[in-house]
Amino acid sequence: MCGAEESSLTTTKVEGAELDLCENCTGFGTKVETQQSTGGTSKYSTSSSSGSGSSGGSTGGSTGSGGSTRRKKDMFDDMDELAADYDDRIREAREADGLTQEELADDLNEKASLIRKLERGDILPSDDVKAKLEKKLDITLTEGTDVDDTEWSSGSGQSMTLGDVVERKE
């Protein structure tokens, strides 16, 4: 995070992203320790970077719980993600109910300009407006983000980069 180029970097999870950080920056997240299981695939376990007596590095499976460890949940695991097509869902549900943008806005006690901006995808709905829209139009604007760690692990042992995951628009 600070840009220091050191030979020994620690993999640390910061707000849902795994980063290789220097010793000074590891306090901003949770240290990730990679442990080898008997099947040859890696399991992740996290430990607080506030210090537990361990100086770092991976432990050889001496967890005492049979070698199967789960990573500590962070706040992003339980969050739902706004659907990519939320604007289409709002417009289609409003039209299916036979409402104009102005009528829907009146029913929700919101401004018509807000509904127009939401349907164009110009802005994201606040939690309050999202709840009102879901209740009034009987739709869901969120998608669960239940991502399993196995989706992100490559069997070759090489670490993945953002370029391996991102789809570029040409």
Domain borders along the chain are 1-72, 80-144
What is the structure's pLDDT at 22? 85
- CA-CA distances (angstroms) from residue 126 to 14, 88, 119, 153? 25, 17, 14, 34
Q: pLDDT digit string (tens) for 128-137?
A: 999 999 999 9
Which segments of the chain does DSSP mark as H helices, in order? Answer: 86-96, 101-108, 112-120, 127-137, 162-165
| Residues comprising the chain, all counted | 170
Ranges under pLDDT 70 in the chain: 34-79, 144-158
C-alpha–C-alpha distance, residues 88 and 13, integer Å: 34
What is the structure's pLDDT at 74? 66
What is the structure's pLDDT at 123? 92
Q: What CATH number should be reported for the domain whose range is 80-144?
A: 1.10.260.40
Residues 6+ apart with CB under 8 A from 138: 93
What is the structure's pLDDT at 44? 47
What is the structure's pLDDT at 62? 43
Closest C-alpha to 160, from 11, 1, 3, 21:
11
